[in-house]
Amino acid sequence: MSDNSAEIDKGNCFGFVTVRLHPEHGYFGGLLVVNSLARPLEFHCTLPVKPSRAQSILYGPTLDDFVCGEQIARALLSKSKSKPISIFTDTSAVLSVRHFISIPIGWIETELKENEQSSLVIPISNSPRSYRSIQVDDTIVQVPEAFTEDGQIIAATWKKLAPQIDLMEPFGRITEALFEANPAAKAA
C-alpha cells in the first residue's frame, strides 16, 4: 500500500469504543479504529479504572457516564492518531464523551452473548437522557437528543463508505483484545 492510500484510509475511518465492567477490577476500555474495509488502523486500551468510594458517592447515578465517557473514552480518543468520521459504541455511558469531542457518536444497544465472559458487564448510563433513533443498514443506532445532527452524519457516511461492515463485529474484536491486554479481565 502506498503512503497516499494509507492517508486516504486514515481519512475514511470509523472508531469503535467499548467499556466493560469487572466487579472486582473495575472498568476496562478499548478503541478500535478501522478503515472502510474493517481493517484495523489503531487499537488502544486502558488499564483498569476503579473509582474510589468517594467518587462513587459524589457522582452517584452519573458515575458510569463520568468513568466511561469523560475518563476512558476521552482518553482513548485523544491517543488516536486517526480522526474517525464517526464513532460507534455499545456502551450507553460512553455517549457522555460527545460533550468533549466534535466527532459524531452513536450507541448500538446490545447484550453480552452467553459465550462471553460472564464476569464482565456493559455499564449502562443512569443519567436522564433522551435519544434519537436512526437506521444504519439493519441496525438501530441511538444518538443523544442534544446532537441529533450526528444521526444524519453517521447514516450518510456509513452508507457511502462502509455498508459491507457488520456494525457489531468490531466490538467482539475489542473485547477479545481487552482480554489479551488485561488478563485480570478474565479473572472470575
Q: How far is CA 154 from CA 19, 79, 115, 186, in A?
A: 21, 22, 30, 33
Buried b (16+ CB within 10 A) or exposed e, 154-172: bbebbeebbeebebeebbe
Domain residue limits, the chain: 14-127+166-186
- Per-residue pLDDT of 26-77, as tens digits, reads 999 999 999 988 899 999 999 999 999 999 999 999 999 999 999 999 999 9
- Per-residue pLDDT of 95-132, as tens digits, reads 999 999 999 999 998 765 544 545 678 888 877 678 88
Indicate the pTM of the whole model: 0.87
Compute the chain's Rg from CA coordinates.
16
Q: Which three cell numbers stand for residue 36?
A: 472502510
Q: Which of residues 161 and 148 earns the better pLDDT score?
A: 148
Q: What is the pLDDT of residue 131?
A: 86
The dihedral built from the CA positions of residue 37, 83, 146 and 172, taken in this order, carries a sign that is: positive
Q: Using the predicted structure, report yes or no on whether residue 2 has a pLDDT greater than 70.
A: no
Q: What is the pLDDT of residue 150?
A: 94
- In whole angstroms, give the CA distance from residue 17 to residue 146: 20
Average confidence (pLDDT) over 130-136: 87
Q: Which three cell numbers stand for residue 60?
A: 452517584
14-127+166-186 classified as CATH 2.30.110: no
CB 90 within 8 A of CB 107: yes
- Percentage of the chain lying above the pLDDT 70 cut: 86
**Strand partners for 168:** none
